[in-house]
Amino acid sequence: MNDLAPAPTSRFLVLHDYGMGGCWWWVHAASAREVRETFTDVEVVDDPETVERAKAWGLDEARTDAETAPDGLDDLRTKRDRRRGREGFGALADRSVAWLRRRWDYDDDEDQVLYLMEVGNDGRRLRQVELVPDGPGLAGGPDDWPFNPPVVDLFDPDLPGMEISREEFEAAWRGARHVAAAEG
């Protein structure tokens, strides 16, 4: 007799949101955290209306402990596995809010922009300040952006090196021009 019965699992609705769309799956896991730890760049959707609608979508199903996963989700597991052993992996994963200094280069050397971001536990921006070299930064929130997909994966081992204090973020936020005021 085997005393090691498999851990009980729940069925989670999982989304890989890439800004202009997304890929959806049902994933069986012991917890939402286990889903996020197994697959990079995903979120567990728990909005009851969305979960109910998704039951009719005919989504592929996967298990976190299975050797294979459906197309798309398999790549997100492979990407996660490459990061897993690195120092800093998961250091910010259990934070409800994190504050980061992050450079975006838009794939060229001319359009580098530095952002201070406040992100929630789903990796979405709550607020951000775009730092500019010649004046106050430009501050904005979700109402100012046409899309707000998750922009960081809190398991990413590079994030601890980008972390700033809440005080540093708040000082930049207070000193910044706000998007709505700048446009009006």
Give the pLDDT confidence of 62-118 residue by residue, as tens digits. Answer: 999 999 999 999 999 999 999 999 999 999 999 999 999 998 765 556 667 899 999
For residue 92, being part of any structural domain is answered with no
For residue 1, being part of any structural domain is answered with no
Give the pLDDT confidence of 135-153 residue by residue, as tens digits. Answer: 788 999 999 888 888 889 9
**Domain count along the chain:** 2
- Domain identity same for 123 and 165: yes
Average pLDDT over residues 125-138: 88
For residue 143, being part of any structural domain is answered with yes
- Domain identity same for 179 and 101: yes
Q: What are the strands of the beta sheet with 22-29, ordered from one edge?
A: 43-45, 10-17, 22-29, 61-63
pLDDT at 6: 65
- Domain identity same for 101 and 173: yes
- Domain identity same for 131 and 152: yes
For residue 175, the enclosing domain spans 97-183
- Domain identity same for 169 and 112: yes
For residue 145, being part of any structural domain is answered with yes
For residue 163, being part of any structural domain is answered with yes
- Domain identity same for 101 and 179: yes
pLDDT at 181: 54
Counting other chains too, the contacts that 118-124 makes at CB distance below 8 Å and 24 or more residues apart are: 118/169, 119/151, 119/152, 119/154, 120/96, 121/94, 121/95, 121/96, 121/97, 121/154, 122/43, 122/150, 123/43, 123/150, 123/151, 123/152, 123/153, 123/154, 124/148, 124/149, 124/150, 124/151
The amino acid occupying position 1 is M
- Domain identity same for 19 and 75: yes
For residue 89, being part of any structural domain is answered with no
Give the pLDDT confidence of 158-181 residue by residue, as tens digits. Answer: 999 999 999 999 999 999 998 765
- Reported as type and span, the H/E element at residue 109 is none
Phi, psi of 175 (to 5 degrees): -85, -5
Query: pTM of the prediction?
Result: 0.82
pLDDT at 147: 81
- Domain identity same for 58 and 111: no
- Domain identity same for 62 and 131: no
For residue 78, being part of any structural domain is answered with yes
For residue 91, being part of any structural domain is answered with no
